[in-house]
Amino acid sequence: MRIELSSGMTSSSSSSASSFFSRFWSSALRSKPLSPAVETSVRTSSGDGLVRRLGLLDLILLGIGASIGAGIFVVTGTVARDAGPGVTISFIIAGASCVLNALCYAELASRFPAVVGGAYMYTYSAFNELTAFLVFAQLMLDYHIAAASIARSLASYVVTVLELIPFLKDNIPSWVGHGEEVLGALSINILAPILLVLLTVVLCWGVGESSILNSIMTVTKVLIVLFIIIVGAFEVDVSNWTPFAPHGFNSILTGATVVFFSYVGFDAVANSAEESKRPQRDLPFGIIGSLLVCVALYIGVCLVITGMVPYQYLGEDAPLAQAFTSRGLKYVSVLISFGAVAGLTTTLLVGLYVQSRLYLGLGRDGLLPAIFARVHPTRHTPVHSQVWVGLIASILAGLLNVRVLSHILSVGTLTGYSVVSACVLTLRWKDKTSSQASTRRISRRGEGIICLFTIACCGFAAGVLFRYGASFVFLILAAVIAIFSAGALYLRQVYTDPPGFSCPGVPIIPSVSIFFNIFLFAQLHYEAWVRFVVLSIVTVGVYAFYSQYHADPLGSNASIVYHRAPAEEAP
């Protein structure tokens, strides 16, 4: 009797486990059926949707506001100490790489112009539910830590500006804005959470109001940067540009991997799809236009700063301000502080905005609790998502020394960019051998995914080899394998033409984008790799025990009605 009972229990447990894994894989591999939109209708009348208030200029300013922050006031000089005047080339290389990513984002933003979620939503449609959830988790950790870090930097600059008032100079305690260390990992900062609360209130109040604030601050900082470039141009000594690359090309390439993250932010435009007035036309122009403006500003600042002061004498904390001070132009240094406040404010504002829209997308799809999907009936903003984002950032910024966490940043960004590039290809694939499918061991789509995975692996291998100074022969070998894989994508796949904006050079440009993104991924600290693995495991656990049971691929995002013009309907 006992033996029979034990056997029965074992059989039941085995059946339950089999059922669990069967359901898990069935859920994980499903995708969201979104169609290309020519004319869209969003459920705004019921109060469930967002309001289309953003024009092309708003989108461009949104992208610039997200990208131009502390990077232009700090990173330019920091990298110049290693790369010399060649830091200009570093920014050009990084900018070119980001343009490739931007072209991929622009196509998908034009293809799916009526849904929020950005990289997460593109992945959900092109690949599957679990991959989309993993992309969201990696991106969101980057956004949370970055928001806290930017808030603390903004608080520090605000205190610096306040100390220009004589009776406040040296009278503001460090725990107010600069941060005061407590027990090592803890660092108390009072002003950063206050600033986050104020910006969260603005974002909850309405996208129109937050867009006006972003536009004012972005225009202010762009004008300050242009003024800095013009004034600095008259102080340039061209002899400081020689030697142009004192430590060789390797230092320039390494610098490109660092300054790459100064351009991060153009994806914010893609996340504003549901609030754009003319998404199919304006989103691509907004993404690419904002990025090109940022590239031009960075190049101008690099040329000025390295021409004013020999690269080896540039400061590390505030190189731009110190360069003008050394030339007797202290008033420009004061202006730079105001520019830094404006720059960090817009970067933080747009960062908080993007996070709430990502949470909104997952709440609509059921991968997160439904409270994240609620939109205020009159303000038309995702208030619950926005408050949650502000709360997390406030806790991190107020209590933790976020600099300790900064070296695990950018993993999510590079992962998201790589997956978006892959989405462009997979969504364009058309199987030309459907009649022979029964005789093939692997589908045409399967071949394509293997090629994409090979390109990514080659990018990582090349990055690791470059990082540890391996023979140049091995780098060439990795690149050659990646080229053959891209060639297979070109020769073995048939690509359809999407409506709206089309990324040129498919499949080559997306393939190069993936290779270089993963190459940069390999340059990150090993702890960033550990973070990637650990967070992925945790995310799979959350999905397995909650999200798979609540997810609805045909939820609010998919229930957007897509209408195709009669002339374009398939026969």
Contacts of 417 (CB under 8 A, 6+ apart): 101, 104, 119, 267, 513, 517
For residue 13, name the pLDDT band (cuts at 50, 70, 90).
low
Quote the CA–CA distance of 511 and 165 in Å, as a whole number. Answer: 53
**What CATH class is the domain 51-429+495-549?**
mainly alpha
Relative orientation angle of helices 207-233 and 330-365, to the nearest 10 degrees: 150
Q: What is the dihedral of CA 558, 290, 284, 216, to 10 degrees?
A: 60
Rounded alpha-carbon distances, angstroms, from residue 420 to 7, 122, 263, 296, 525: 49, 7, 16, 25, 23
| Predicted TM-score (pTM) of this structure | 0.87
**Integer angstrom CA distances of residue 471 from 23, 477, 525:** 47, 10, 21
**Strand pairing partners for 429?**
495
Residue 70 has pLDDT above 70, yes or no: no
116: pLDDT confidence band, cut at 50, 70 and 90? confident
Per residue in 317-372, pLDDT tens?
A: 667 877 888 888 888 888 888 888 998 899 999 999 999 999 999 999 999 999 99
Q: What's the confidence (pLDDT) of residue 44? A: 45
Token pair 């009972």 is found at: 5
Task: Give me the chain's average pLDDT, please.
Answer: 85
CA 351 to chain centre: 9
Placement of tokens 């591999």 in the chain: 29
Amino acid making up residue 310: P
Give the tens place of pLDDT for each residue, 427-476.
999 755 444 444 567 888 999 999 999 999 999 999 999 988 899 999 99
Token pair belonging to 70: 């502390």
What is the residue extent of each domain of the chain? 51-429+495-549
pLDDT of residue 10: 57
pLDDT of residue 238 exceeding 50: yes
What is the pLDDT, as a whole number, of residue 180? 82
Give me the residues paired with residue 562 across strands. Answer: 40
